[in-house]
């Protein structure tokens, strides 16, 4: 996440927070620990039944990703690929191996290593495609965890509200109407927590991870295409041109601005 994104998030969060704060009659009345506990414990319980603990923990570890600077190294990867293809074309295997040691992209490294060890093209493609498919499946499953939590949170919010309403209605028996208002307010707070958690935390995280996966898949397919061209013994200049044309940006793909 580049700084501007962080600014966007922070400023809108501050805005939302302050609006909620000033809109509230007495901000303290928006804190209801039992209600919050029902939503959080319920969502956690449902999530732990749905997924193995180690998977939940791994996904929680991804929260950092959402706020981290998400550089895409596509340009670097293309440059490295083209450089290696030049060395490989010259037959300088030593230099390729030295370049391999310096690359920081394990997927690219595996691909070139397979090329060096003279694996058949078809099998290289198979192996790399499998790794792409596996990354796609795993990251999709991770985003799915957050989507599931985004569905559980409002449900437990409503469960908490029902608990609050039932309590309130029991008391109403005594005809003590004055205490109904604050009790109902407390009951509604759990729904408030549930919807807020789902829409400000779980769902945005899920969407963010999905978008990130899409960009990573594009980068991996790019590398796959490059490796495939290298095994076909294409000229390094052709590889460079092709990969760069893949990445070229147009204002509008099918119409120049007038």
Site residues for a second copy, 98-127, by CB under 8 A, read 104-108, 110, 123, 127
Chosen residue from 79, 100, 116, 242 binding a second copy by CB under 8 A? 242
Which one of 93, 98, 129, 162 is in contact with a second copy (CB under 8 A)? 162
Contact by Cβ (8 Å): 2, 67: no
What burial class does residue 88 get, using C-beta atoms within 10 Å of its C-beta: 0-12 exposed, 13-18 middle, 19+ buried? Answer: buried
Token pair 């058949």 is found at: 120
- In the complex, minimum distance from the CB of residue 159 to a second copy, in angstroms, rounded to a whole number: 6
**Total chain residues near a second copy (CB under 8 A):** 115
> CA 241, CA 236: separation in Å to the nearest integer?
9
For a second copy, the closer of residues 90 and 232 by Cβ is 232
In the list 216, 226, 227, 239, the residue contacting a second copy (rule: CB under 8 A) is: 216
Residues 174-193 that bind a second copy (CB under 8 A): 175, 178-182, 184-185, 188-189, 191-192
Q: What is the Cα–Cα distance from 38 to 231, expressed in whole angstroms?
A: 58
What number of other Cβ atoms are within 10 A of residue 61's Cβ?
A: 10
Interface residue with a second copy, options 205, 224, 236, 240 (CB under 8 A): 205
Distances (CA, A) of 63 to 11, 135, 210, 242, 254: 20, 18, 13, 36, 38
Q: Which is nearer to a second copy, 28 or 91 (CB)?
A: 28
By the rule CB under 8 A, 148 interacts with a second copy: yes
Minimum CB separation of residue 152 from a second copy in Å reads 6
Q: What share of the chain is helix, strand, coil (3-state, %, to 5)?
A: 80, 0, 20
For position 233 contacting a second copy by CB under 8 A, the verdict is no
Cβ neighbours of residue 236 closer than 8 Å, sequence gap 6 or more: 82, 85, 86, 89
Shortest reach from residue 105's CB to a second copy, in Å: 5
Supply 94's token pair: 């030593």
- Binding segment (CB under 8 A) for a second copy, from list 78-86, 90-98, 157-165: 157-165
Cα(190)–Cα(199) distance, integer angstroms: 14
Nearer Cβ to a second copy, position 88 or 157? 157
Lookup result for tokens 């070229």:
248
Site string for a second copy, 34-63 (x = CB under 8 A): xx-xx--xx-xxxxxxxxxxxxx-------
The region of 84-92, 93-101, 207-215 touching a second copy under the rule CB under 8 A is 207-215
């Amino acid at each position: 996440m580049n700084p501007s994104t962080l600014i966007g998030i922070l400023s809108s969060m501050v805005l939302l927070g302050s609006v909620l704060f000033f809109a509230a009659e007495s901000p303290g009345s928006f804190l209801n620990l039992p209600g919050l506990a029902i939503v959080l414990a319920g969502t956690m319980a449902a999530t732990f039944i749905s997924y193995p603990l180690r998977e939940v923990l791994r996904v929680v570890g991804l929260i950092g990703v959402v706020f981290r600077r998400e550089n895409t190294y596509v340009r670097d990867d293309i440059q490295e690929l083209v450089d290696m293809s030049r060395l490989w074309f010259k037959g300088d295997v030593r230099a390729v191996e030295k370049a391999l040691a310096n690359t920081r992209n394990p997927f690219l490294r595996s691909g070139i290593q397979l090329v060096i060890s003279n694996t058949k093209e078809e099998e290289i493609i198979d192996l790399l495609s499998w790794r792409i498919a596996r990354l796609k499946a795993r990251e999709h499953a991770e985003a799915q965890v957050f989507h599931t939590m985004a569905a559980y949170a409002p449900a437990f919010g409503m469960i908490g509200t029902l608990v609050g309403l039932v309590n309130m209605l029991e008391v109403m028996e005594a005809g003590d109407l004055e205490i109904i208002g604050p009790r109902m307010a407390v009951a509604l707070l759990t729904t408030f927590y549930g919807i807020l958690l789902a829409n400000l935390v779980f769902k945005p995280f899920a969407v963010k991870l999905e978008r990130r996966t899409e960009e990573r898949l594009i980068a991996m397919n790019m590398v796959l295409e490059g490796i495939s061209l290298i095994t076909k013994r294409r000229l390094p200049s052709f590889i460079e041109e092709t990969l760069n044309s893949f990445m070229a940006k147009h204002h509008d793909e099918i119409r120049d601005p007038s």
